[in-house]
Amino acid sequence: MPEERIQWHPAFATALKLELKDYYPEVLDIQEEYQLTSKPLEVDILVVRKIKEAKILLNIAQLFKGHNIIEYKSPEDYLSVDDYYKVKAYAYLYKTLGERVDSIKVEDMTITMVSSKFPKKMAEHLEKHQQLTVTKQDDGIYYINGDDILSQFIVVDELPKRQNRYIRLLTTRMSIKEEISMLIKEFSSDPKNSMCELLFETVTASNLMQIMEVYNMARKLSNEEMEALDKVVMKFNLNKKWEEKGEVLSLLRILNKKFAGLPDEIAKKIQQTNDKKIINSIFDNIFEIESLEDLEKFLK
């Protein structure tokens, strides 16, 4: 069964709206997959400031002007040098779409590029070939100085916990148990919140084991809080998913011992498989599997 891909982009758009909920939709209009032309050419997210006088204090949006283009990379992807030129091209094209000539001013535009890790190669390229400087503005926020369009990097895994707890949920590399706990409490108190629901579905797909840890540690909660938490567990069928994941973890322990350590690529394939038949088949043939090549045949 092919691996079900995690829908990171809609989750990021949702996290962004939750981060900016003090300004959205009254002050900021946030549009996903904004079409630049009639052909398939679109920016990930366009944020348009509706009230120019409103001061935005949130760290990730302090750079924002009237028109703000956002390029987002999932935890499975990275920002390359070409991504910089692509988003700049999109920004220039967007500028030409104003109702009249030069109605969208370059000085009223910004570019934000978001990734889990700091784009070191891109930053080095910008400083060497574009004579720009990249400076750290705040935790997880880096400004690109000297460009004609104000630009910044947002590094998800470096953002502060409480200030950016929604966006920090979109990771596969770091501990986010505190952020998960806050999301569970928020969603259990407002189960009809569709944005929290979408975000929770993404976290369930990417960080199921951390959710389990949060649930196991939550026994200190009040009866009312535990009842709300149990409703979340039931809504997303987490007990069944944890049971299946338990089998996967047992298999990984056995294979790690058998081969004195599994390559990360193979371990990840096993961990992310959604086909129980594959897991059972490997268990059934564990003694016949004598090499990593034999093991990989079951994962194709």
Residue 119, domain CATH:
3.40.1350
More confidently predicted of 274 and 160:
160
Report long-range pairs for 143-150 (Cβ below 8 Å, ≥24 apart).
Answer: 143/63, 148/106, 149/88, 149/91, 149/106, 149/109, 149/110, 149/111, 150/63, 150/65, 150/109, 150/110, 150/111
Query: Do 20 and 154 belong to one domain?
Result: yes
Give φ, ψ of 145 to 5 degrees.
-100, 140
For residue 220, what pLDDT is reported?
64
Question: What does the pLDDT look like over 27-42, one tens digit per residue?
Answer: 999 999 998 876 677 9
Give φ, ψ of 238 to 5 degrees.
-70, -30
Question: What does the pLDDT look like over 39-56, one tens digit per residue?
Answer: 677 999 999 999 999 999
The percentage of the chain sitting over the pLDDT mark of 90, rounded to a whole number, equals 56
Query: Do 20 and 86 belong to one domain?
Result: yes
Average confidence score pLDDT of the chain: 89
For residue 176, what pLDDT is reported?
94
115 occurs within a structural domain = yes
- Cα→Cα distances 248→251, 275, 283, Å: 5, 11, 10
271 occurs within a structural domain = yes
191 occurs within a structural domain = yes
Whether the predicted model's global pTM rises above the 0.75 cut? yes
For residue 39, what pLDDT is reported?
62
183 occurs within a structural domain = yes
Res. 142 pLDDT band, cuts 50 70 90: very high
Q: Are 65 and 108 in contact (CB under 8 A)?
A: yes
For residue 1, what pLDDT is reported?
37
Cα separation, 281 vs 252, in Å, equals: 14
Query: Do 65 and 88 belong to one domain?
Result: yes
Give the tokens for residue 206: 């990417």
For residue 4, what pLDDT is reported?
60
Range of the domain at 288: 241-298
Query: Do 78 and 150 belong to one domain?
Result: yes
More confidently predicted of 162 and 231:
162
Query: Do 232 and 268 belong to one domain?
Result: no
Taking Cα atoms as reference points, which of 62, 65, 59, 22 lies closest to residue 46?
Answer: 65
More confidently predicted of 248 and 185:
185
Query: Do 70 and 89 belong to one domain?
Result: yes
- Cα→Cα distances 33→30, 153, 190, Å: 10, 19, 27
Query: Do 254 and 227 belong to one domain?
Result: no
164 occurs within a structural domain = no
Query: Do 32 and 147 belong to one domain?
Result: yes
Question: What does the pLDDT look like over 187-196, one tens digit per residue?
Answer: 888 888 999 9
3 occurs within a structural domain = no
Query: Do 48 and 89 belong to one domain?
Result: yes
Res. 234 pLDDT band, cuts 50 70 90: confident
Residue 179 burial class via C-beta count within 10 angstroms: exposed 0-12, middle 13-18, buried 19 and up: buried
Of 206, 236, 266, which residue constitutes the final position of a domain? 236
1 occurs within a structural domain = no
If one counts the domains in the chain, the total is 3
Of 236, 262, 289, which residue constitutes the final position of a domain? 236
Averaged pLDDT for residues 122-134: 97
For residue 280, what pLDDT is reported?
83
Query: Do 214 and 152 belong to one domain?
Result: no
For residue 218, what pLDDT is reported?
65
Query: Do 224 and 267 belong to one domain?
Result: no
For residue 2, what pLDDT is reported?
43
- What sign has the CA pseudo-torsion 165, 169, 171, 174? positive
Which segment of 4-13, 22-31, 116-125 scores lowest on mean pLDDT?
A: 4-13
Of 90, 125, 158, which residue constitutes the final position of a domain? 158
More confidently predicted of 148 and 212:
148
166 occurs within a structural domain = no
Which segment of 61-65, 149-153, 261-265 scores lowest on mean pLDDT?
A: 261-265
For residue 283, what pLDDT is reported?
80
Query: Do 24 and 147 belong to one domain?
Result: yes
Cα separation, 203 vs 172, in Å, equals: 9
Q: Are 199 and 16 in contact (CB under 8 A)?
A: no
